[in-house]
Amino acid sequence: MNVGVPKEIKNHEYRVGLTPASVHELTARGHRVLMESQAGAAIGMSDEDYRAAGAVILPVATEVFDRAELIVKVKDPQAAERRLLKPHHTLFTFLHLAPDIAQTRDLMASGALCIAYETVTDVAGHLPLLAPMSEVAGRMSIQAGAHCLEKAQGGRGVLLGGVPGVEPARVTVLGAGVVGRNAIAMAVGLGAEVTVLDRDLGALRQLDERFGNRIKTLMSTARHLEVAVLEADLVIGAVLIPGATTPRLVSRELVARMKPGAVLVDVAIDQGGCFETSHPTTHQDPTFEVEGVVHYCVANMPGAVARTATLALNNATLPFVLALADKGARQALLDDPHLLNGLNVANGLLCRREVAQAQRVDFVPALDALVQR
């Protein structure tokens, strides 16, 4: 199979779909990998490294799309990339379609098979391709939040861990999933006072067993959430409903009552965000202020640590890339119900119920959409 890897074009996105090591795995099995020139150069993965792994280097993305059958990316395809997709393509990348009607329409119009990393599952019902980026984003959320708390960044001028004789910052984490757990670990490690809210009592028990009295766990009720947000210097939005739009847990009215200079880091912004006042930002212009509260809502947070993130992502995605290349996309999807759960668009049809509900359009079950190919 011809596997294409274009250079990412989203703002300050330096990750790359395949590492040289992953390319070597594909070429050793007889597949042809077509890399856009300089796709990984910004993170120390040169064209020479890719050539040594057996890749063919092409000068522009249009040639990659023209010659490839399987397109492996990192971030959701931008409008210019979506125009290059054709019915013979299989796209394998993060999509986050629920809040993005324009992308959904373009992918449906392309006729391509579009598989989203964030909805591929495993036998335990977890999201193995989203997990490594959630780990990165969760850890980054604390260092980003700590930076935003500095007075020069518009924050309260609070040091996250405090110093002897001065209390630490108060951090509230909304959600005890992968993002939340990693945010908590970082915040605790820096000496912050941490409160976590979730509706899953089992998840809260696991955190209590791990961290003991170093954190406070609360069932996520309206009253608990209100108090925890108002007491916080830093709030991490870490809620995820797979494939669906994130619920807006914190209203503008509540934001207006927060401490002046408090910080919100909305890790869920790819799926719409946890805060009513959120809107996506970029690494180039990461923050804005609403009601005296600093908002950090970068939609591709792991892109800031692109080398680490690329290596972590490839560890998870490579087995699926190999299956798609070895078997062909249709057979690989039919053989693996967990990969099939990643199929969001096929043959012009939307096949993810949560996206259809968010956008109020019809959907067709993934298997039904696939067999029409």
**b/e 214-243 (16+ beta carbons within 10 angstroms → b):** bbbbbebeeeebeebbeebbbbbbbbbebb
C-alpha closest to that of 242 among 127, 146, 70: 127
Residue 280: how many CA atoms within 13 Å on its side-chain side? 14
Exactly one of 96, 106, 295, 336 is catalytic; which is it? 96
pLDDT range class, residue 243, cuts 50, 70, 90: confident
pTM, whole model, 2 decimals?
Answer: 0.88
Tell me how far apart the alpha carbons of residues 324 and 155 are, in angstroms, rounded to a whole number: 47
| DSSP-assigned states of every residue in 96-110 | --TT-HHHHHHHHHH
* Amino acid type, 320: F
User: Which residues 6+ apart lie within 8 Å of 164 measured at CB?
Assistant: none
pLDDT tens track for 155-178: 999 999 999 999 999 999 999 999
pLDDT > 80? residue 356: yes
Tell me how far apart the alpha carbons of residues 14 and 3 are, in angstroms, rounded to a whole number: 19
pLDDT > 80? residue 199: yes
Tell me how far apart the alpha carbons of residues 71 and 113 are, in angstroms, rounded to a whole number: 10
Share of residues in the chain with pLDDT > 90 (%): 94
Q: Is residue 71 within 8 Å of 327, Cβ to Cβ?
A: no
SS3 state at 124:
coil
pLDDT > 70? residue 373: no
Q: What is the 3-state secondary structure (H, E, C) of 271-282?
A: HCCCECCCCCEC
Rounded to a whole number, what is the distance in angstroms from the first to the last CA of the chain?
18
Examine the residue annotation and report whether 96 is marked as an active-site residue of this protein: yes
pLDDT tens track for 43-95: 999 999 999 999 999 999 999 999 999 999 999 999 999 999 999 999 999 99
pLDDT, residue 194, reads 98
Q: To the nearest whole number, what is the mean pLDDT of the chain?
A: 96
What is the mean predicted confidence (pLDDT) over 312-327? Answer: 98
pLDDT, residue 268, reads 95
Examine the residue annotation and report whether 89 is marked as an active-site residue of this protein: no
| DSSP-assigned states of every residue in 11-66 | TT----S--HHHHHHHHHTT-EEEEETTSSGGGT--HHHHHHTTPEEESSHHHHHH
What is the mean predicted confidence (pLDDT) over 32-41? Answer: 98
Run of H or E including 114:
strand 113-116
**Main-chain phi, psi angles of 190, to 5 degrees:** -90, -5
**Main-chain phi, psi angles of 85, to 5 degrees:** -80, 140
Q: What is the DSSP letter of 75?
A: S
pLDDT > 80? residue 14: yes
Q: Is residue 50 within 8 Å of 32, Cβ to Cβ?
A: no
Exactly one of 233, 266, 270, 336 is catalytic; which is it? 270
In 257-365, alpha helices (H): 306-327, 329-335, 337-340, 353-359
pLDDT tens track for 259-289: 999 999 999 998 899 999 999 999 999 999 9
Q: Is residue 207 within 8 Å of 181, Cβ to Cβ?
A: yes
* Amino acid type, 319: P
pLDDT > 90? residue 11: no
Sign of CA pseudo-dihedral 332, 337, 343, 348: positive
